[in-house]
Structure 1
């Protein structure tokens, strides 16, 4: 992750690649290869891949974490910040959105509603709906930073509680809140905010996150809890339990909490990977935005190839291993092309948006904050 203000943290790119990998697994198995939605992996950590939509939550947490890391003690030039965000997300998003509109012969008026109003996520074809939600957070972040400085981090906690209360009210009155929690800022805001709070936690309590055992324990506990969510019906609510609909009141918060803590723990530990592997995964993480937006089409290409061999792809492990082995190389090549030819040229146009430091660092300075430029 390299910002326009020269901060680079390879570990954040590792996590971004993991998020892209989870979403890729989800769309390969559940949407293209028709692995039964009732299938539950016996090896419970694999539920994170069986329910790989959770990678979107990790992306959201990382956004909050990254901006809090960059800006926690700086003033933000709001319009320069938004300009940089537009240069970051707009070129590739516009490319795929327009392409989908042309291919699908979709009414162009819907594009104006979807993108201009930043509201109708269902109108945006492909996976671009997450970009709409992400941009809404970009618009809010400078204000969230100002208010959290004035009122303390409890302000962010209060916003999370308010979001949970709103989702509970919707569930209690309408009987469902899944779409609101999954596809809109009303669910995803928890994850952005918990990413911000995780960054603050690592800065204030770095010693709590130093041990790799903390990271291992967090990953084990979270994967077990997500397996329980899978067993109870998961995203598709396979068992039809009336109570299952209520899980979406608090699931976004749990995802944000654990991914925030896992991110802090991963960044707080010493480098666990060999240098060569660290660089390779970081490079893939650098491509994560292209990996995410490109992956539906890469899957389409790979499926055309796989269908010629008449392989039974309804088995979870076959779909995961063979699907990844086929899709991933195609996706990486495609994404390297879109990154270097579309993303990177526009990224070079970004300017600095952070103003001079407004407060001296506290005595609790984490390895992350030490890498901020002077």
Structure 2
């Protein structure tokens, strides 16, 4: 009998070890991993450079707290600001914490409490981030939620432009909704939201927890659009499996997050920073990102071709190596069957199969995965 709270509907797999794109269970069965810890292990499992950096740091110092200067924080922060629209970084331990910090910063800087987010969004499971999430199913049982949040229809530029005004502190948005179904934001919609925020002096918060750190072929997914967000939140892929999150903000926000305004005991600890520095050094490389973009196009084209005769597939959508296969029926059985066949995939909502392979995936492994998907979905 388990002593764990049953908060997860766990798969019947206990992982013994994992390397690159391969996961091996306790029975010795191997799986091709198109989950990557839910877009976390972007460099694959046990990447040697990340492992080496963490092992080296283990023999130096693990934790001192943010009462001390931690030089690695400065190095990782520099990598993040050099590859984003931001100027300053706050480190924490997870995506929910990064979004929590963004909500606090937006309210403190603007002096306003109203924050707009979008239906089918997902921003976390703390009380503030749960309140920002536009999905009733994850909010059930936790009322009363935090006041001040309003949910707008996604990809509806007119609705967003009407709602954004001087009473709003911030707009919080995923440029590709992950948990909500792998829904890419349309160019006109995302850019209209950004323009309205700028016109009304409203902060634009881009949640890059799942889409960031190279996942779409750029350092951050918002860079596919002509926008410059005030705040960007990241986690998941930032440490390639080591728990770490970050908020990246523009210079004007600096004074609102002064001493005592926010904090995290473990945020930015030396081990997390060692993992993050090694991860970013590999991923924030022009050739690496170009390869991700090319492999994403290849995967998308192969899926569209091979699944075109499926009776249940409606469309294939996404960007880079974040792809959703939208179906006309619930996909739980297909996800289970693919797992039995040795391919690990996720759902995103009841009707979407979500693919999140490591960014180091090979074309041969893409072909292998597409073949198994075709076998399951084209009958």
TM class, shorter-length: under 0.3
TM-score normalised by structure 1 residue count:
0.23
Considering fraction of residues, name the structure with more helix.
Answer: 1
Considering fraction of residues, name the structure with more strand.
Answer: 2
Q: Which has the higher contact order (CA 8 A, sep 6+)?
A: 1
TM-score normalised by structure 2 residue count:
0.23
